[in-house]
Structure 1
Amino acid sequence: MTQDNELPEYEIMFVNVVTPLHNGSGEGLGFVDNPILRERTTQFPIIQASSIKGVLRDSYDERGSPYVELFFGPPPGKGEKHSGAISFGDGQILAFPVRSVRGCFVWITSPHVLWRFYEKLCLMRLETQFPKINDSMKQIHSGLKKAMICPSGKNELCMQKETEIFLEEFPVTFVESVEIENIAKVIGEKVYGNVEDSFLKSEFEKKLVLLDDDTFRYFITNATEIVPNIRIGDSGTTKDGSLRYTEYLPSETIMYSTLIFEKSRKEDQPLKATDVKRNFTKNPPLTIQIGGDATIGKGIVKLSLPSLQANNLADK
């Protein structure tokens, strides 16, 4: 709670990976020389809050926003003046793309992932922005015996045996679930926008698959992109010992970050938490670059904010 008993404002920011993203964790100990950053307990991939904050700060600064220091705090070396009015959470996984023998690919998620997302919505009093999720979440629990798929995607994904799909080379037994389809439609609209002819939105609403937590963890640790990199010497040939393997989150990965807005701490720009949120979500950058290898087009992501979508609908 902020000073003067003013309650903070909240927002969920979705991060849709457009080009493979390497948010590195330093040197790897195994086959991969440059792994992505993961949670210690679950091995779920994450993006550090500091990376998200830094990239957004640069974007607002480049566009000449008068609120850069108010939003993000003073520049390095002057942090003692005041802190920023926005707190950023780590980017956490929501849906991960996996190759499917039929239907090209699907997005997978798990009960733990969905419940973590839903609990954040409830803590921040944002669940009303995601209709139909309340009732649907009651059917999502741990210890699943079979995967759950959207009924509308069954014909595109299942093999001759109508209770089985193949993800990578593995057969997965499933049941149809209206609840998963409801969740997919709500999340798809927030991530891709309320656009009727959006190809990815329509695909997501049919091809979200709920797996048990163990199977989900297997795929997110073994189905990322591993890319070899070499260094060419002055002779035009490969330098000895230069071969390195880098891990990337694949395109179409969906993540999210939590935002907390508080009253301004910048004395010459006194704004309430509601005003801070309104100014931040009025015209945010919708495409940014996160992580390494920016010069070869990696790490481009699209951002979506439910508040921005609500404002656009209200303007219409």
Structure 2
Amino acid sequence: MNQTYLYLFAPLHTGGTTQEGNLVGIARESHTNLPYIPSSTIRGKLRASVKNQDTKFQLFGNELGDTNAQLEQGDVWIGDASILFLPVPSLSHGIVWVTSPLLLYRWARYQENSPQIPEPYSCSFVGGNQNISVYLKDAIFKYTNNQETTDLTVWQNWQEFIPQNAVTKPINKLLVLPDQHCATLIEMSLWRQVKIKLDEHKSVDGGFRYEDAIPPDTLMYYTNGLTSKANGNGQQSLQELNSLISNNNIIQFGGQESLGRGFCQQWN
């Protein structure tokens, strides 16, 4: 089981199954309500990027619209993309990337050498004799060298949770929040885009429509591996998949490609 990382360059919206009033829903996990990228979206984009038909069939099998009437499974499977770190605005530190023990446990279970998961309120940019306050939306956290009054604790091994890539260098101000508080803050930090339709007189035709989107500079990941069809002989297919990901390191998911939405960098 392998992991592929996604660093978002632009807001990313993948349609959900619900629409409440004039708000177009975003794809969400049913048990956490957190935004995610469905595996079908990722698989479809990767499959469309394969030019060689034999390679496409080898990796992903055939589709209903293909000439072969019988559906066959491919050698590789693609999982959903989950959030690892999401940026939120901070009056004191500009941008702070938040996560939670649940999100870190999800990621760590795929690692060969799983790092120790930090406790809530662990922070990567506090320590020593400094006294600082972190302003995050409606919350204020304090760190002082007097351990009796501090809200935050030092996150010693935070660099073990950041995949090495040039685009991840800015991710250095990290804060671990309890699962429920992190989910609330992620919901508050989603981009909400207003969509309108204009008539020939440049007047609004109908009402406004809103779409949620995962913000830029979010770090996500998805898993992939060999299906049972490969039957232990899929090393060539894995190499083909890794080559496909490498050759499409800048990729676009979701709609609104003409507006520059959904672009991200991916790497193994």
Q: TM-score range by the shorter chain?
A: 0.7 to 0.9
Matched, 1:127 2:124: no
Task: State the percentage of identical aligned residues.
Answer: 23
Q: Aligned pair in 2 of structure 1 residues 208, 27: CA closer, same or farther (>3 Å)?
A: same
- Deviation for aligned residue 1:188: 3.2
Instruction: Pick the aligned partner of 2:152 from 153, 174, 189.
Output: 174
Change (3 A) 1:74 1:65: closer
Corresponding position: 1:149 with 2:123: yes
In the alignment, what sits opposite 2:146? none
Normalised to the residue count of structure 2, the TM-score between the two structures is: 0.86
- Displacement after TM superposition at 1:166 (Å): 0.9
C-alpha RMSD over aligned residues: 2.3
2:6 matches 1:18: no
Give the alignment of 1:249-260 within 5 angstroms: 249-260=214-225
Structure with a larger share of its residues in strand: 2
Matched residue, 2:177: 211
Q: TM-score, normalised to structure 1's length? A: 0.73
Tell me the residue number matched to 1:73: 61
Distance 1:34 1:278, change over 3 A: same
Which residue does 1:282 correspond to in 2? 243
Offset, 1:76: 2.5
Aligned mates of 1:81, 1:27 — CA distance in 2: 30
> What letter is aligned with 1:169?
D
Q: Which structure has greater helix proportion?
A: 1
Partner of 1:113: 103
1:244 matched residue in structure 2: 209
Equivalent position of 1:293 in the other structure? 256
Structure 1 outlier segments of 4+, above 6 Å: none
Q: 1:60 aligns with which of 25, 46, 50?
A: 50
Deviation, 1:24, is: 1.2
Q: How many residues align?
A: 253
Q: CA deviation at 1:45?
A: 0.9
- Structure 2: which amino acid aligns with 1:75? E
CA contact (8 A) 1:73 1:82 kept: yes
| Structure-2 change in CA distance of 1:81 and 1:43 (3 Å) | closer
Residue 160 of structure 2 corresponds to residue 183 of structure 1: yes
Q: Please say if residues 63 and 71 of structure 2, whose CA atoms lie closer than 8 Å, have aligned partners that are also in contact.
A: no
Residue of structure 1 equivalent to 2:168: 201
Gaps of 5+ in 2: 142-150
Structure 1: gaps spanning 5 or more residues = 1-9, 156-160, 306-316
Distance of 2:255 and 2:243 partners within structure 1: 28
Letter of the structure 2 residue corresponding to residue 298 of structure 1? R
